[in-house]
Amino acid sequence: MSHISSLTIPDYTTQSGFQFKNLPLTYQIFGKELGTAPVVLVTHALTGNSNVCGENGWWKSLIDSEKCIDLDRYTILSFNVPGNGCDGFLIENYEDISIYDVAQWFLIGLEQLEIPSVFTAIGGSLGGSILWQMAVLKPNLFQNFIPIATDWKATDWVIAQCRVQKQILNNSENPVHDARVHAMTFYRTPQSFKQKFNRSLKQLENIYNVESWLLYHGETLNKRFKLQAYKLMNHLLMTADFETENHFYDLASKIEGNIYLIGIDSDGFYLNEEIKETYSLLKPRKNNVHFAEINSIHGHDAFLIEYKQLAGILNPIFNSEIVPADWQEITKTTEYEHASIR
């Protein structure tokens, strides 16, 4: 496992006007030494962290030696969202922070590490929303930009689900546990639950296996995640926004690198139709924007489950010398039949 390193942002004022002094920004590097290979920036989702690969890495099936994102070919960099608690740092006044601020912190981190250009930036869910902000703030930074199961905006549906989470976090006697139990129901789908449990009972406890599974996830997160960290990360999901839709598309059209949007056909959190709409509205303004789809019954969490499909979609980007203009044609030649590309 790569050790956690730390930078310091000496002075920063948030969008809301709150001033931070000496803000810690921690990160991990995997693979090739910094400065010796193309950089892949990986941004984590709500309960993730900078530990993206290795024995306990949350994306280890995608990132490793001889995997799709090859540690022998790339330098992998991942920052912790300040306040996620992974490094012991928490932010009490979490409502003073937005995704815009996190994006600015990551940009400052890249500057301090003397990384002027990133070969590929990739992130799912909240991580992808952070990347949208970074790409707009510095449109020449990413050669390839891959937001997965996410969008540039928080829809009413995302805001509503996060509000329910907020209510639980502020009012439950066991807040992290109970919020996670609720969250797992919209990260998956009814079809996924039926395939996995099929109304089966856990005889010793006299409850359904789906109940046991939900309680397990609540207990597991409760052991490793601080309440204040969960409040912050849930809040950040609600802050993905721009002044107007037209303002966003004007800014996004100036992003220089290739944009690869990846949705999940069964996603009940960041709806696939919203990602398709972003693609259809951005495509007329920017030639090098593409869309791919993961086909799965597992809903939002499919980007953490369907590794074979995801690798099939990503292989042309990470394992070809030059990514072709027609992403669809090269992907058809892979063994992964379910990677639907437009």
Q: What is the per-residue DSSP string for 152-175?
A: SS--HHHHHHHHHHHHHHHH-SSH
- Angle of helix 209-224 versus helix 190-197 axis, rounded to 10: 110
- The CA distance from 214 to 12, in Å, is 39
Per residue in 249-303, pLDDT (tens digit) is: 999 999 999 999 999 999 999 999 999 999 999 999 999 999 999 999 999 999 9
Q: In this predicted structure, what is the pLDDT of residue 1? A: 53
- For position 2, what pLDDT does the model report? 80
Helix axes 245-252, 272-282, angle to 10 degrees: 60
Q: Are residues 81 and 229 in the same domain?
A: no
Are 84 and 212 in a shared domain? no
pLDDT of residue 320: 76
Q: Is residue 146 located within the same domain as residue 71?
A: yes
Provide the number of structural domains found in the chain: 2
Task: Please measure the distance between the N-terminal and C-terminal CA atoms of the chain and give it in whole angstroms.
Answer: 37
Do 26 and 82 fall within a single domain? Answer: yes
Task: Tell me the β-bridge partners of 12.
Answer: 20
Q: Are 205 and 117 in contact (CB under 8 A)?
A: no
Tally of CA atoms within 13 A in the half-sphere of 134 that contains its CB: 34
Residue 90 CA to residue 238 CA, distance in Å, equals 19
77 and 141 part of one domain:
yes
Residue 69 falls in which region: left (phi positive, over 0), alpha (psi -120 to 50) or beta: beta
Task: Provide the pLDDT for residue 204.
Answer: 85
Angle between helices 227-237 and 156-171 (to 10 degrees): 160
Q: Helix axis angle, 227-237 relative to 126-137, nearest 10°?
A: 60
The CATH number linked to 216 is: 1.10.1740.110
- What's the confidence (pLDDT) of residue 338? 36
Predicted pLDDT of residue 287: 94
Ranges under pLDDT 50 in the chain: 323-324, 327-342
Q: Which CATH number covers residue 117?
A: 3.40.50.1820
Burial class of residue 321, CB neighbours in 10 A (0-12, 13-18, 19+): exposed
Same domain for 148 and 84, yes or no, is yes
- DSSP-derived letter for residue 95 is G
